[in-house]
Amino acid sequence: MELPIIEPFKTKMVEQIYRSTREQRVKWINEASFNLFNLRSEQVTIDLLTDSGTGAMSDRQWSAMMLGDESYAGASSYYNLKNAIKEITGFNYFLPTHQGRAAENVLFSTLVKEGDIVPGNSHFDTTKGHIEFRKAIPVDCTVDIASDLTALNPFKGNVDLDKLEVVLKSNAREKIPLIIVTITNNTAGGQPVSMANIRGIHDLATRYGVRFFLDSARFAENAWFIKTREDGYSGKSIREIVLEMFSYTDGMTMSSKKDAIVNMGGFIGFRDEELFRQASAYNIIYEGFITYGGMSGRDMNALAQGLNEGTDYEFLTSRIGQVAYLGSLMKEYGIPIIEPAGGHAIFIDSKSFLPQIPDEEFPGQVLATELYIEGGIRSTEIGALMADRDPLTRANRFSGKELVRLAVPRRVYTDNHIRYVAATARNVYEKRDLIKKGFRIKREAPILRHFTIELERV
Ligand SMILES: Cc1ncc(COP(=O)(O)O)c(C=O)c1O
């Protein structure tokens, strides 16, 4: 019998999980104005709000932290990180930042100005926020199949090359400072982008003279999908695939809190020295000197080690396998989810789950609230609240998709926890007809409103 691939780690330290009663949770979610970001972590039993910065670091990462060099300039930790980034991504130049959106801030301050157009695939909310904040326009060129939530297409995160070419053709070259493609495509359900697609984007970018960057938070998971789903890649290592992916690009932004398994950190990788120099000025203003950029030396050491561990094939197989296990249980219980399962998260289709709740009453948020009340599960809405208002018309952006994302932190929960999550969802599903009404907005911020929004029941 072939032995299964197991988690390539065991537990050395454990952390208390907090239990609560339904009555307590009803009270707490009311006090939180039905915004799960407003809950205290002790009020949550299983926290699937995000896989960002919530992973468990290894003993090697913790010991690398003890060797952190906290020199302001030229720390050895900076050079450790520089070497790891060069080895794994191939980029000669990089700037450390305190997290992914800071990398976006520095890069977009350098490149994006009012009236510009930034095409890509379902830009992540902070990416969209940084583009729109500069009065530029993100253009979503994701393949249409991504909106068919259950189509079993292996690369539903792809860019539609025809749509991209229309954007490139119909706008002046100077209006398009870069193409940014998110791997994996978080907003479209953690779906991967194929190597053929990345190569196709590179060819178009080269033909039209436009820069091509990858928003790379989950680049290793994307490489795992290429290895396991795309013809010609099964015999290649994750590292070889990663190097090939980045070889087609001019650079990357990275939220290290995902595939590099650290609690905080980010960076920008550049191929071009001149662009690196221009961006360095913004890094110094916003983040810190170019050899630390918002990170302490110990954190850069942990990140260098995390990049190695996050690109391990066995780790990725067990991690993505655990997410797929959650998906298979949900399916077994009849719960409508995005298929195939994403790399880092399962996305529940709340419009099918709660068809009685109109988009205007935010069915995604309603379902996320019910999962919390039922079992203390914290998830996040990926729907109209997160999509925010149109910057010009200020109308809510209803895209027709109202999702709840259950993001699985790396190396944190056991399969038993996963079964608890699925059972909670099943209980809510069985009682779904009793849920009659949704929410209206009480208070919201002008941008990235979902983080701080306050809601009340209709
Ligand atoms: C695809 C993607 N890009 C960028 C970011 C922003 O990174 P950070 O949260 O580190 O600022 C995230 C965070 O969730 C993400 O998922």
Per-residue pLDDT 10s for the chain (458 aa) are 989 889 999 999 999 999 999 999 999 999 999 999 999 999 999 999 999 999 999 999 999 999 999 999 999 999 999 999 999 999 999 999 999 999 999 999 999 999 999 999 999 989 999 999 999 999 999 999 999 999 999 999 999 999 999 999 999 999 999 999 999 998 888 999 999 999 999 999 999 999 999 999 999 999 999 999 999 999 999 999 999 999 999 999 999 999 999 999 999 999 999 999 999 999 999 999 999 999 999 999 999 999 999 999 999 999 999 999 999 999 999 999 999 999 999 999 999 999 999 999 999 999 999 999 999 999 999 998 988 888 888 888 888 889 999 999 999 999 999 999 999 999 999 999 999 999 999 998 888 888 889 999 99
Nearest atom in ligand 1 to the alpha carbon of residue 126 is 6
Question: Is the minimum distance from the CB of 344 to ligand 1 under 6 angstroms?
Answer: no
Q: Which of 101, 105, 118 to mutate to test the pocket of ligand 1 (most atoms within 8 A of CB)?
A: 101
Rg of the chain, C-alpha, whole Å: 21
Nearest atom in ligand 1 to the alpha carbon of residue 185 is 1
For residue 189, what are the contacts with CB-CB under 8 A and spacing of at least 6? Answer: 146, 149, 156, 338, 342, 345, 347, 403
266 Cα–ligand 1 center, Å: 9
Tokens describing residue 76:
């050895």
* Contact criterion met (CB below 8 Å) for 129 and 123: no
Residues with catalytic function:
72, 124-125, 215, 217, 258, 450
108 Cα–ligand 1 center, Å: 15
* Contact criterion met (CB below 8 Å) for 105 and 99: no
What is the phi/psi pair of residue 146, to 5°?
-60, -25
Q: How far apart are CA 137 and CA 115, in angstroms?
A: 7
The pLDDT assigned to 192 comes to: 98
Is the pTM higher than 0.85? The answer reads yes
* Contact criterion met (CB below 8 Å) for 422 and 326: yes
23 Cα–ligand 1 center, Å: 34
Place of tokens 């326009």: 137
The pLDDT assigned to 392 comes to: 85
> Cβ atoms within 10 A of the Cβ of 408, count?
26
* Contact criterion met (CB below 8 Å) for 264 and 292: no
Nearest atom in ligand 1 to the alpha carbon of residue 184 is 1
The pLDDT assigned to 441 comes to: 93
99 Cα–ligand 1 center, Å: 8
The pLDDT assigned to 9 comes to: 96
Question: Is the minimum distance from the CB of 99 to ligand 1 under 6 angstroms?
Answer: yes
The pLDDT assigned to 317 comes to: 97
